[in-house]
Structure 1
């Protein structure tokens, strides 16, 4: 029998908070190993150049320097370097550990200095003399396909890859015959994950045993283990990865990057551990950037505003060394462009283009451009048709009772509530009241706006590396419970989630459950965090495993109490006869029998209380959805945008812990607000990054972000507990909601917003152009 849930669905305090909020967390930089050496990279000062020679003699002469490694030293040591996340058969892009022959962006690692401490390593790096022959860089991905210069010789026109849907001519007649054919090119700037903790790695190799131990700031310790095993040609069981606390990942730490490869390779040559910790400037210039793309978005409508067809020609900046293969994610932009709307026909092309800039890396909702471009285009279309953007969406949004349905690109939606969450968010706002307030404000010379964004999000894939998750549960002789899962928690409260779910599954108190995560030597294989998978996948793994122990607990209790198993339930740390208080036996007593008095166990029940299980995710994925609503005021003289209210109505199924769900929504939403209004990675015409400190790279703070209001629509998904993913939605939905709010505020001027970020300068320029009668 399964006890009724006591903890799942409740706002229990996060079990990791005490450790983290009192400064007792353990991050990579807190780890110290005997005799440990420190690494620092010599990085390219130019966007593109040929390496003529490297002279490390002065650096090697500096007291405390152990070694200086170049590509000649480290790169030949690479055996394989493909990612489990995407598989060995993907036509991945180049990824040498250190620059070979040519540097391809400012910050490209050219040499690795190893010294007794970080300070000596940095000083030594300044003494390494690299003779470069400057070459013409390809700075703009937009014009890269027409450039005579190539970032990588093996890729003509600088195209990393192109994927597409139906031939565009298939839809030509639909667009030609539509009452409205709305087209616009939307541009999104580059911005970064900016985790609180930068990247870091410690690698310690034991030559006698051929064993490598790695402490990593990662979202996926088992991915790091597999990657290291392949990279170095070590047996998988000779690699141990330990991940403790991680100060944010957001996709940037999903897979090892080139610097991680260098540290692993260098560790083979050293008698002690090697530590590398990235500084903030390196993080902003070399750790990978997200977004930076544009798309020619197009929709056809009938004369009543119903969508007839949708198409997008999407192009994204892959940078010099994208991680992982960018073409796959780009294709998701095209596949999901129809979104949560009734769209009869659609097509797309998605192209990834190399440039001599920071690599493209996964960033929270890496396919987010499909929502940004579609939702901005819908607002533009509504204004051109003389229709309220809300009414346009109401005519076209899918409803719960229409499920299941496949979008025209073949994506099989189910268990989602696009129209329902949309209406819920508008009710929370009181949309009609806002419009009345907006009219009054405009009469006073103030410009208020409201914007919405509705999206459907793929979560919890049941395929490939991310398709399964394991758990081991051990009830100790004391009756206390330890749960072992792969982990990868980087702010998403996997510790709390596991403890809640396990306590419910075994009918014990949360205080009696602990979880061990992030150590590949003792935890079962798992995919880590990514793809909004963790909640549902861990729930499945815990349920599979706990069911075995629950049956064993009840069998032992029934034998001891001389009762039928079906008459018992597990509750409050006891197996009790249903309806008979005080008639039970505690889990601790059962554990004592299972370990120490095995002669009293019922026939067929093995001694001990430990089990392992594995959950296979839902194929191809579980869908979640949400609507974001933002209101703002725009000062048209200064261009200042002030956010007034921010509402998110989310359907991620039943919530394991509403506090955690809302924390995930809030974090992603703030990142999305940053992308809409503040954050931007900028390069000059020579490919020099201009935003490598927080003086130039602007982040939203608590003074710019309004209180986020939450609404929840709970439609169970097909997976365990009905849980869906929620990790990436905030970052997907926020940018178009904010931009649409600003566009709505500026609607009286007839301006059209097509470029992010919406800065004060861009607002003033648009308004001034409109006042002058020029193009807006």
Structure 2
């Protein structure tokens, strides 16, 4: 992997900006991580779900007798046992008052997708629980399922009563018909319906939690694979009708989440509720089949996208009519991310007029969930449409983009759908990426290859991404920092180890903020009993928000440390410098005190502290994001070769030029980009969470749900453009961008390779079969 840096490099701090080795790696690489399945308190019982084999059916009876008779079985709980214990079920991230769909913990009266949980077996171990689950006999009256979301609005069958037309949510910002005169008068218009298939986040670690209700103390302790411990704590307290102070959530190591573990789903609800009905800790670990069956789908959607162009290729207007499948039980209420698709559709381009509609439709399939860049369809539809337009206008796709991309001189800029852009560099990242590729040289190579009967292609995607958004749960972040009497530093954060290296970056930021050695800083995260309230990992928020929380808190301690040192050294506080774990006088470095000495004074010699300085060296602070959005942007460039006979796609080079502001740790930034990029490649070429006509899932193992491996992934090359944000340290989020930009870049590269055959790619994934079919039809 290689890196190129351009524009506005910030002055390097001692640790921030450096490729510091991840502090979590020693335990993870030596197998000493602590995941939920590694935790088994004494007396732990194990849970297994009985799941529906039907996409839709009425439950007419449940017989649990044989299961209960099996030795080692403690309980078989049905909707009648669990569901009455559920109080409020809303998510803090979304709010109480949205018109959300019903979400019963266990299926009650009707099952609504294959995998719908119908009963919960509690036994001495998972093996017994699985055996018992097979002995629970459920009588169903089959009903016609709504499988094709695209026609769900025309069906009389309703997935949920009270939602006519199977509409979960819909929004029109501006009627697309308002723009008809522009399209009618435009020299060029392009219109296509883009279809994207369903994908799944498939984290390495599946969902899981242990819930232990202590009746004497009336306290619930939960060990969970979660991206947001405080969200789970608040949701759990509302669900059970107990105070938040009665719920403690502990999130140790988490093997990836990608949005799937931000909010508790129905299985987690069941385990929390069941914990009050059993004696001892209750553990549920999802297996991979369950994960693919019921942990949720994402991306399944289509959009009628159209653009109007002037004679020279300048964009005049852009319209998107977007429709998405939200399954039976979406988590969370889907309108926010669906609306973002329309709001962001103009992307980083100069688009004077825009409109969009959004429709979310229920179906009898697994519920839609958050997945890394939930609004990603906007970039897919826009960037595919731009390449299609370029070919029809007889222009190079790069030249069409150059005519329309925003550059820094035009900022701030508000797109026609109301999104206010600033502190971004789309044209700059675009040019850097093409320079790294040597775009003219590739085009020359492509011509030579075509003459030899080989089909090479290049595709790009340039996007903008909102990070550190101002949703209520995400708008603030807290930190507590305690300098121990030894001078060592503990920093407490909400976070948790989800693979995004918050442990490392928080330590880097704290060491710089306090002027101490990084080896002297330790972080404790993911335990709601001791960690400050925070939103957790989601929405590409972690970098800027944790940086703000550390800065707010450390500033209090710096002031206190400086005051103590100045008082003891008889110096002016403005002349005190903090570096290397020492406070010294700027013009006379020999005069100084170590952090341990200052800490000793603060804790044990409080009578000698200067006036107004409290004893001890512990502080809590909370950062509030004053900006409604911090924007990141990037350009992805992919080259490929397509075998016209077999449809095999071989990726040749992959380049990402991104602007996430100054990088706290370039290695972490590049790791986040790489992970998202590989997921985006999978979405373009391999992954498909498919259903048959009866609503049966046909990809519930990795034999059928195909994932890209190292063998299919090219070396990723990185270019960095740094435009500081108005937030703390100038940092921006970077977690979701790779998954947004990769799919369109790969699709456009394949379409470019096959351009000599004609035809238009509008449907994903690009399987060998689909590409061979396209080529054959084009040759007729």
2:678 corresponds to which of 649, 653, 670:
670
CA distance in 1, matches of 2:12, 2:435: 33
2:133 maps to which residue? 125
1:582-621 → structure 2 map (5 Å cutoff):
582-621=590-629
TM-score normalised to structure 1 length:
0.99
1:59 maps to which residue? 67
Verify: 1:649 aligned to 2:649, yes or no: no
1:145-224 → structure 2 map (5 Å cutoff):
145-224=153-232
1:164–1:334 contact (8 Å) kept in structure 2: no
CA 1:4–1:387 in structure 2 vs 1: closer, same or farther (change >3 Å)? closer
2:342 maps to which residue? 334
2:148 corresponds to which of 126, 131, 140:
140
**Superposition deviation, residue 628 in structure 1:** 0.2
**Superposition deviation, residue 488 in structure 1:** 3.4
2:370 corresponds to which of 355, 362, 375:
362
1:293-372 → structure 2 map (5 Å cutoff):
293-372=301-380
Q: Which moved more, 1:665-674 or 1:581-590?
A: 581-590
**Superposition deviation, residue 353 in structure 1:** 0.4
2:669 maps to which residue? 661
**Superposition deviation, residue 370 in structure 1:** 0.2
1:348-747 → structure 2 map (5 Å cutoff):
348-747=356-755
Once the two structures are superposed, residues 493-538 of structure 1 have per-residue CA deviations (whole angstroms, 9 ceiling, x without a partner) of: 0000110000000000000000000000000000001100001000
The alignment partner of 1:261 has SS state of helix
1:73 maps to which residue? 81
1:540–1:720 contact (8 Å) kept in structure 2: yes
2:235 maps to which residue? 227
Once the two structures are superposed, residues 212-236 of structure 1 have per-residue CA deviations (whole angstroms, 9 ceiling, x without a partner) of: 0000000000000000000000011
**Superposition deviation, residue 163 in structure 1:** 0.6
**Superposition deviation, residue 580 in structure 1:** 2.4
CA distance in 1, matches of 2:99, 2:160: 15
CA distance in 1, matches of 2:218, 2:240: 10
CA distance in 2, matches of 1:608, 1:327: 48
1:113–1:121 contact (8 Å) kept in structure 2: yes
**Superposition deviation, residue 388 in structure 1:** 0.5
CA distance in 1, matches of 2:510, 2:496: 18
2:606–2:615 contact (8 Å) kept in structure 1: yes
CA distance in 1, matches of 2:756, 2:693: 36
CA distance in 2, matches of 1:285, 1:348: 32
2:53 corresponds to which of 39, 45, 53:
45
1:249 corresponds to which of 257, 268, 278:
257
CA distance in 2, matches of 1:371, 1:97: 35
Q: Which moved more, 1:629-638 or 1:615-624?
A: 615-624
**Superposition deviation, residue 618 in structure 1:** 3.5
- For the aligned residue pairs, the C-alpha RMSD in angstroms reads 0.8
1:30 corresponds to which of 2, 21, 38:
38
Once the two structures are superposed, residues 279-319 of structure 1 have per-residue CA deviations (whole angstroms, 9 ceiling, x without a partner) of: 00000010001100000000000000000000000000000
The alignment partner of 2:306 has SS state of strand
1:284 corresponds to which of 292, 302, 313:
292
**Superposition deviation, residue 579 in structure 1:** 3.5
1:461–1:618 contact (8 Å) kept in structure 2: no
**Superposition deviation, residue 619 in structure 1:** 3.0
CA distance in 2, matches of 1:282, 1:30: 19
TM-score normalised to structure 2 length:
0.98
CA distance in 1, matches of 2:682, 2:773: 21
**Superposition deviation, residue 667 in structure 1:** 0.2
Once the two structures are superposed, residues 564-615 of structure 1 have per-residue CA deviations (whole angstroms, 9 ceiling, x without a partner) of: 1111110000001113232211001001111112222112111100000000
CA distance in 2, matches of 1:29, 1:463: 32
CA distance in 2, matches of 1:4, 1:24: 33
**Superposition deviation, residue 761 in structure 1:** 0.4
The alignment partner of 1:191 has SS state of coil
The alignment partner of 1:659 has SS state of helix
2:496–2:503 contact (8 Å) kept in structure 1: no
**Superposition deviation, residue 461 in structure 1:** 1.1
CA distance in 1, matches of 2:482, 2:496: 20
The alignment partner of 2:140 has SS state of strand
**Superposition deviation, residue 5 in structure 1:** 2.1
Count of residues in Structure 1 that have an aligned counterpart in Structure 2? 770
2:48–2:122 contact (8 Å) kept in structure 1: yes
**Superposition deviation, residue 4 in structure 1:** 7.5
